[in-house]
Amino acid sequence: MIGIFTNWKDVLSSDKINLANVAYVIMNNLGYQLGLSLGMGQATAVVIGNWVARIVGMSMFLALIGAFFTLTYTPLKQLIEGTPKELWPRNIGYVKDGIPKVVIWVQCGIVVAMIFLVSFGGDIAKVFFTRLVLMANVAMTIPYLFLIIAYPYFKGKSSIKKGYQVFKSKTTVMVVTILSAAIVGFANFFTIIEPMTSGDYASTIWMVIGPVFFSSTALFLFRRYARRYKNGAYRLLRNDD
């Protein structure tokens, strides 16, 4: 649909456009093209484009401001409290007053540094940010694939008390599981190979590197903890103990 009012070569081919600002560029162009289509002059169309981008940006900020806090805090809280604190280096797993304060400050520092680098770091920082987004693009959906595959096994555990159930028969559960896994799996597959079809092999490679890198990091932390726990260096403690 964006191609209806946006020409890739004329609008989106600039090296100043990245994944962080492309949405605002597109909305700006939408307002600009709308002004021209209504017979307005170029100067007026530029003003309309600027205001459309500002309004969309403000609406996105207001609509997602709650999600910003949720997405920056909830995953960390679940990750830290759901694992032994000895799994993490030093005081990363430390929880005080029910809040993993140390890791929140670490996350804040990383985010601020990334924003600063993307804003003032030039082309190299923008390339780094783009590659980081590509690495997380597919990696973020893999946990959902694991949850989908685990769903039939969860339903089959009669020892687990379940509240409200949408799917009750085994056939329905398997059909829903297969469809959901196929959708997520094929979406990831085509997301990975799509850049390669247009000659952008680098994007495909970075999207493959992402899951491998994050999985390797997780396995390293787990095996490190298991080895030390087996040797008696750690005791199996939860953060709420």
DSSP per-residue codes, 187-239: HHHHHHHHHHHTT-HHHHHHHHHHHHHHHHHHHHHHHHHHHHHHTTSS----T
**166-186 b/e (C-beta count within 10 Å ≥ 16 → b):** eeeeeeebeeebeebbeebee
How far is 163 from 222, CA to CA, in rounded Å? 32
pLDDT for residue 238 is more than 60: no
Averaging pLDDT over each range in 57-61, 156-160, 179-183, which range is the top one?
179-183
User: Which residue is associated with the tokens 């709420």?
Assistant: 240
Query: Among residues 101, 81, 99, which one has the least CA distance to residue 91?
Result: 101
Tell me the pLDDT tens digit for each residue of 102-161.
888 888 888 888 778 777 777 777 777 778 888 887 888 888 888 889 888 888 777 777
What is the reported pLDDT for 10? 78
Write down the mean pLDDT value for the chain.
Answer: 81
How far is 175 from 183, CA to CA, in rounded Å? 12
Cα atoms in the 13 Å half-sphere on the side-chain side of 113: 7
pTM, whole model, 2 decimals? 0.57
CA angle 186, 217, 98 (to 5 degrees): 100
If one compares 79 and 59, the residue with the highest pLDDT of the two is 59
Q: How confident is the model at residue 168 (pLDDT cuts 50, 70, 90)?
A: confident
Q: Taking the CA atoms of the chain, what radius of gyration do you get in angstroms?
A: 23
If one compares 233 and 32, the residue with the highest pLDDT of the two is 32
pLDDT for residue 232 is more than 70: no
Q: How confident is the model at residue 47 (pLDDT cuts 50, 70, 90)?
A: very high
Distance of CA 163 to the CA centre of its chain: 30
Share of the chain above pLDDT 70, in %: 95
Q: What DSSP state is assigned to residue 38?
A: T
